[in-house]
Structure 1
Amino acid sequence: MIEIKSLNKRFGKLKVLEGLDLSIDSGGIFAVLGPNGSGKTTLIKSILGMVIPDQGDIKIAGSSVLKQSDYRNNINYLPQIANFPANLTVRELIKMVKNLRPKEANDQRLIEHFGLEAFLDKKLGNLSGGTKQKVNIVLTFMFESDLIILDEPTTGLDPISLIHLKELIHVEKEKGRTILITTHIMSFVEEIADEIVFLLDGEIYFKGSSKELKKRTAQDDLEHAIAKLISKDL
């Protein structure tokens, strides 16, 4: 699904990605992890075409996507912070996004799944952070796409909504989708991710299952295993 070769990116004198190589197969849930400044946000934005790398190539489904745009129609992206227009209602926002994408949308099922019926005619500026995140999730999953990228998807969610999100992610996995998730919640990673991709200093430092990572670091839980990776105390 995704093939990245020798990816390099600098911002001024700061080297963020350095010769990064990464291969992600079609189908499955991949947690992209790393400390602040590790390059994971730059990597995700490079895949999305929001950052142009200095060197290297990114291929999705066998075709290079650098300086292309049409491929984005087959990506669903949930940003960490959803900056919605405060004066729009939820219904108006959903309609606007549906008009922007040349795909059939299945929003009603998701609205019901996350209990948003009572909020459809409320202004986005008046909603709580958790409700905005549920709207964000609806906008992300209402289109059928082979690649789904979720940046901190659990932010602000109550326990029931978190269960619904996990169910939704598993449904998409069963459809053969490839799902990339960035998060700082290690319990969520351990429960849902098939593989972990760990970045450190702009390079892939580990790729494998949480079980393999705990064995490599001789730790019983994922939080301590990640901490040991960060410290490079292996």
Structure 2
Amino acid sequence: MVEITDLQKAFGKNQVLNGIDLTINKGGIFAVLGPNGSGKTTIIKSVLGMVIPDGGDIKVFDTNIKRNSSYRKKIDYLPQIANFPSNLKVIELIKMIKDLRGQTDKDKELIEIFRLQPFLYKKLGTLSGGTKQKVNILLTFMFDSPIIIMDEPTTGLDPISLIRLKELITREKKKGKAILITSHIMSFVEEVADEIVFILEGKIYFKGSIEDLKNKTKQVDFEHAIANILKENHA
């Protein structure tokens, strides 16, 4: 579904991406991990066309995304920080997004799942961070696109909402969707991810299953495997 070849990106003298090759297939959950500044969000924004790479190619459904924006309709995106208009009510935001992207009734189910009924007529500026994140998730899953990209989706979620998010992600995967996630919450990644990609200094350090990573680092649990990589590269 998404094919990234030799992706390069620098911001000034800082080489953020240095030859990233990555293929994301349908029916899987892929977690892109790495320390702050490793290039995770830059990869996501490059795929979305929000960052223009200095070199390399990105194809979505075998179509090069250069000078082509129509592919974005096939991607649902959850940003790390959703800057909603503070004076809009939740129900008004939902309607506005539906007017822009097309009509759907999936929002009704998602409102129920995340218990958002009491907040529909409240202004977004008055909501807590966790409630805003639930609205963010609702807007992401409201449309039935074949690719879902989520940047730190667990931010601010209470334990019950986190369980519901995991159930939702698993359900969408069973539909054959390709799901790309970044997260600092290793327990969440371990529960949902089929494959992980660990990025260090703009390059892919590891790509494979969590079990493969444990074997490579000779660690019995996932968090210690990740810590081992970071320790080795900061020694």
TM-score, normalised relative to structure 1? 0.97
Within 2, Cα distance between the matches of 1:110 and 1:96?
A: 17
Within 2, Cα distance between the matches of 1:103 and 1:221?
A: 44
SS in 2 for 1:206: strand
Contact 1:195 1:208 in 2 (8 A): yes
Partner of 1:142: 142
Offset, 1:231:
3.0
Question: Which AA in structure 1 matches 2:6?
Answer: S
Within 1, Cα distance between the matches of 2:44 and 2:232?
A: 24
Check if 1:57 corresponds to 2:78.
no
Question: Which AA in structure 2 matches 1:139?
Answer: L
Offset, 1:230:
2.2
Within 2, Cα distance between the matches of 1:27 and 1:2?
A: 12
Superposed structure 1 runs of 4+ greater than 2 Å apart: 102-105, 230-234
How many positions carry a matched residue from both structures?
A: 234
Partner of 2:87: 87
Contact 1:8 1:19 in 2 (8 A): yes
Question: Which AA in structure 1 matches 2:160?
Answer: I
Offset, 1:213:
0.4
Offset, 1:202:
0.6
Within 2, Cα distance between the matches of 1:193 and 1:3?
A: 19
Within 2, Cα distance between the matches of 1:52 and 1:67?
A: 11
SS in 2 for 1:228: helix
Contact 1:52 1:66 in 2 (8 A): no
Partner of 1:176: 176
Contact 1:152 1:184 in 2 (8 A): yes
Q: Which runs of 5+ in 2 are unaligned?
A: none
Offset, 1:105:
4.8
Within 1, Cα distance between the matches of 2:23 and 2:14?
A: 25
Offset, 1:232:
3.3
Offset, 1:66:
2.2
- Pairwise CA RMSD: 1.3
Question: Which AA in structure 1 matches 2:57?
Answer: D
Task: Report sequence identity in percent.
Answer: 67
TM-score, normalised relative to structure 2? 0.96
Within 2, Cα distance between the matches of 1:232 and 1:108?
A: 48
Within 1, Cα distance between the matches of 2:67 and 2:168?
A: 32
SS in 1 for 2:197: strand
1:101-120 Cα shifts (integer Å, max 9, x gaps): 14535210100111111110
Question: Which AA in structure 1 matches 2:109?
Answer: R
CA distance 1:51–1:103, change in 2 (3 Å): farther
SS in 2 for 1:232: helix
